[in-house]
Each structure stands twice: as structure tokens, then as C-alpha cells.
Amino acid sequence: MSVDDAGPDGPLRARAHRRRGTLGVIATGASASGPVLHGLRAAAREQEYVLSVFSVSGTGGAAVPAAVAGLQLQGVAGIVVLDGHLLAELAPVADIPLVPAASTDHYAGARQATEHLLALGHPTVWHLGGPEEGPVARARERGWRETLERHGAEVPPVVRGDWSARSGFRAGQSLAVESGVGAVFSANDHMALGLVAAFAEAGMSVPRDAHVVGFDDVPEAAYFAPPLTTVRQDYVAAGRQTLATLAARLDGVPAPRTTVEAELVVRESSRCLKGA
């Protein structure tokens, strides 16, 4: 468990002090050290909230309900659950408000990426997807698929990876031998990195022979070779939205939406026309 202290003045300062200024957070698995938690911490510092973070190793058994009980004993005003699918399980055992962490509109971000590639003149866009069971991967895949369908474009079979650059490289090896692969939307930046490396090994140049778009805008994306066009997630804005949702719940007023807009950032991997 870790506790993050407060920062400069913010619009929720008075309410934070009235509520003893402490909110609970339950994180599981990768979310315990991921960018969603970092964004929430930054937003909490802005607004002078203190976060008491419980990290549990898994979602089964008694560990997560025990984390709720522990946070309630600390007197936190409410709890943010970073893995939103746990809310239904935890609601019956919590006596204080629980809210999911706000997230990027993954569906809309995927639509932006696919629309961008189609606008470059490609007849279709291939997709390097994340793990099929993951809700984020499914939302991004659905945005890609429904955009192609709306344009009457062929929907190629999904090539799937596991979010790693290694899996992106393997996918790139298979796509490099397919005919007509001129545009690829990768479900994250790390897989896009591996994809571009595999294309280069096969003698394909990005963006001369193919255009590639990723998702996340990791700090390294601007320094890929070539710099990667990607969909940016604003994790601090998501953190602010999460706090606004929890504040509304505590005040008994309608809560605002729990998603934040994604932003397409165009760089060299899709800037030139294919074949130029």
C-alpha cells in the first residue's frame, strides 16, 4: 500500500478537506503501476486529495474485498477501482461510493486512426489487435471494424498480438508477405514498433510502402524510426474526470461521463503518400 500526498490548490480543495481529503484506490495486476494510476495521482495532487492505494495481485478470492474493508477502516471518503469490471463484485461489500477510473474513448480513437488511413487513399486498413479477451482491445477492434464497414471497405482478418513489440514483430513478418497491405492500425504503440521493424527487415519502408498508426502515444513514439502516428491518451485528464465523478457521487448529484476524448497525433509513419 502507498499513500500519495497533496499538491497545489485546486477546485475541489474545500470539499477534499471536508471529506478528510483521503480517497481509496484499488489496483490489480498491471494497473498497479500503469499510466492510469499515474494520471490519477497527478490529478489528486492538483486538487489536494491524498490517495491511499491498495495493490492486490489478482481479482479472485478474498483479496479485493479485503482491500475495500481495509480502506473503509482508514475512513476514506470513496474508492476508485482501476479495474472497472470489479465494481459489480465490490458494490455489495462497500458502504461508501465506488467509481471506476475514467478511461479514454478507445472506440472513438480507433475510428480516428482508421478514418485517417482511409483518407490517405487506402482501399482498406489491416488491424494488429491486442488480446481478444481484453475489453480495451475489443473496443479498439470494434472501432476499426465498424469504420471500415461504414465506408464499404473490405474487412481483413485481424492479426493478433499480446501488446508487446515482440508480438508486433511476428505479426509484421506475416503481414509483409500478404499482398496489398498498405495501411495498418496497431492497437498499441509497442506492437507498432515491432511491426515497423519486421517490415524493414522484409525490405518494406514506412511510410514509402505502408502507413502505420499506433495507439497510446507512449513517450518514445515521437522517436521511433520513423516517428509514429498514434492516438494519444490524456491520463491526467482521465484522472480529473475520475475525481469529478467521485465528487458528484459524494454530493448526490448526477455524475459526469467517465470517458475522455482521444486525440490523433500525425507523424511521419503516415504523413507521406504510399509509394511517394
The per-residue pLDDT for 217 is 95
- pLDDT-derived band of residue 194, with 50, 70 and 90 as boundaries? very high
Domains within the chain, CATH numbers bracketed: 2-101 (3.40.50.2300), 106-232+264-270 (3.40.50.2300)
Residue 29 has pLDDT above 80, yes or no: no
State yes or no: pLDDT of 104 exceeds 80. Answer: yes
Proportion of the chain above pLDDT 90, given as a percent: 64
- Angle at CA of residue 109, ends 234 and 228, nearest 5°: 75
pLDDT for 275 beyond 60: no
State pLDDT tens for residues 221-245.
Answer: 999 999 999 999 999 999 999 999 9
Check whether 33 has a pLDDT greater than 80.
no
Q: Could you tell me if 91 and 231 are in contact, meaning their C-beta atoms sit under 8 angstroms apart?
A: no
Position 205 pLDDT exceeds 80: yes
Over residues 182-200, mean pLDDT? 98
Confidence of residue 56 (pLDDT cuts 50, 70, 90): confident
Rounded to the nearest 5°, which phi and psi values hold at 204? -95, 135
Average pLDDT, whole number, for the chain? Answer: 87
> 131-140: per-residue pLDDT in tens?
998 889 999 9
C-alpha 107/C-alpha 111 separation (Å) is 6
* Three cell numbers written together for 79: 474508492
Q: Would you place residue 58 in the very low, low, confident or very high pLDDT band (cuts 50, 70, 90)?
A: low
> Rounded to the nearest 5°, which phi and psi values hold at 175?
-70, -30
The rounded distance, in Å, linking the Cα atoms of 176 and 12 is: 52
Q: What is the DSSP string of 181-210?
A: --EEEESSHHHHHHHHHHHHHTT--TTTT-
Angle subtended by helix axes 35-46 and 235-251, to nearest 10: 60
C-alpha cell at 248: 458528484
Predicted structure pTM score: 0.81
By the 8 A CB rule, do 146 and 111 touch? Answer: yes
Q: Give CA separation, 187 vs 51, 178, 205, in Å.
A: 31, 19, 20
Condensed to tens digits (0 to 9), the pLDDT of residues 170-181 reads 999 999 999 999
